[in-house]
Structure formats: C-alpha cells, structure tokens
Amino acid sequence: MDANDMGNALEKVLISEEELDQRLSELAAQIDRDYPEGDLLLVGVLKGAAPAMVDLSRKIHRPVEMDWMAVSSYGAGTKSSGVVRILKDLDADVHGRNVLIVEDIIDSGLTLHWLRENLLNRGAKSVSILAVLRKPDAAKVAVDANYVGFDIPNEFVIGYGLDFAEDYRHLPFVGTLARHVYEVEGE
Ligand code: PRP
C-alpha cells in the first residue's frame, strides 16, 4: 500500500520510507557497536513492531535471536491504563540474557515501562528499548528508550506497523490520517 492507495484518507506523510530506512540503518549500526559480542535477543511487540523488527534486524551485522510478545492494555478507550495483559508470551527464557525490546511507538510509555520490569523480573541480564517513534507524553513515565527513531508530535499516526481499526499497518511510511476518516469510522 502507498500514498496513492489512500486517496483523501491520508492527511500527510510525516516520516517517509527513505527517512525510516536511513534512521533504522543508523540505529542498527549503534546496536552493532553497543553489543560487539555475546548474546542478543530481539523481542518484537506484536503487532505494531513487525515491520520495524524485520527491517531493523536485516541491518544488524551480528548474530541475533528473534522472539515475539503480544500484550494488551487493560482499560477503556485509546489510553493505556498501565495494567498490561500478556496475549502471547515469549518462547524464549530470558533469564541471564541481553534483551532488546523493539516497539513501533511509545505513547504514554506505560506498556514499555511494564514490559521492561516484567522481563527484568524474569531475570534478564539487561533490557534495552528501541522505539521507532516517541510521542511527547512518554516523558511523563520513566521509560528511558535506548534507541529512538523519531520524536513526533501528539498526532494520530498510522503506517509502518501502526493501525487505525487494524488497517494501514502495511504502509511503508508514517503518516497522519485525515480527520474525516476517524470521525466517521471511529466512536
Ligand atoms: C501500541 C504500541 C505500543 C503501545 C504504546 O500497541 O505498539 O505497544 O500501544 O502505547 P503506550 O506507550 O501508551 O503504552 P497497541 O496496544 O495499539 O497494539 P498493536 O501493536 O497490536 O496495534
């Protein structure tokens, strides 16, 4: 899917495919430098992190293992409550391992705050965080992401893993949705 397929549902491209590619290359190079040797387990958080996990991992030039978790926040509406339910757990045992969580976005920061604590409680040796996007509210919760692609404004973003009603995850760029789409289909 690309911008042409969206017609007037797309308000604007916020981060282009080329910008994402370039930034992920930089972050992958940083990861190569930060983990020169030893074990590294990438944990992708479904579903949003799927494109980033695939693209990032192919730019990393050292061995990595990949695993996936799916989590869901309890609570009504679009705001995270901070209480997280595991929908799909890791196959791997993280005890004693270096873990790098890969996420598409930090919004309130509550999901990643919970996830990092959860993996540390399982005995992970280290837990780092990569987020492609970070919204301003993330600063309110103590989530120190080690690798951040882009700081973005507090807008309704879609694409590159991010959905609206499960659509648009397969856009190769990050964009904003035209207001008429979510005002009609939302609520
Ligand atoms: C999104 C995103 C993060 C979380 C961020 O996932 O992928 O996991 O919300 O929000 P927070 O910082 O406010 O906690 P979502 O629950 O929408 O699931 P999805 O990835 O399957 O779309």
Active site residue 151: no
- Is 161 among the domain residues? no
pLDDT tens-digit series, residues 84-121 = 899 999 999 999 999 999 999 999 898 999 999 999 99
Catalytic residue among 39, 107, 137, 151, which? Answer: 107
Q: Could you give the percent of the chain with pLDDT greater than 90? A: 82
CATH label of the domain that carries residue 127? 3.40.50.2020
User: What's the CA-to-centroid distance between 37 and ligand 1, angstroms?
Assistant: 31
Q: What local confidence, expressed as pLDDT, does residue 143 receive? A: 80
Q: Which atom of ligand 1 is nearest to the CA of 111?
A: 14
Q: What's the whole-number average pLDDT of the chain?
A: 92
Range of the domain at 52: 16-153
- Is 166 among the domain residues? no
> pLDDT band at 182, cuts 50/70/90?
confident
Q: Which atom of ligand 1 is nearest to the CA of 108?
A: 13
Q: Which atom of ligand 1 is nearest to the CA of 79?
A: 13
Q: Tell me which residue has its CA closest to atom 14 in ligand 1.
A: 111
Return d(Cα 171, Cα 67) in angstroms, integer.
23
Amino acid present at 130 = L
- Is 119 among the domain residues? yes
Return d(Cα 111, Cα 85) in angstroms, integer.
10
Q: Could you give the percent of the chain with pLDDT greater than 70? A: 92
Total number of domains constituting the chain:
1
> pLDDT band at 78, cuts 50/70/90?
low
> pLDDT band at 73, cuts 50/70/90?
confident
Asked if residues 156 and 163 have their Cβ atoms less than 8 Å apart, the reply is no
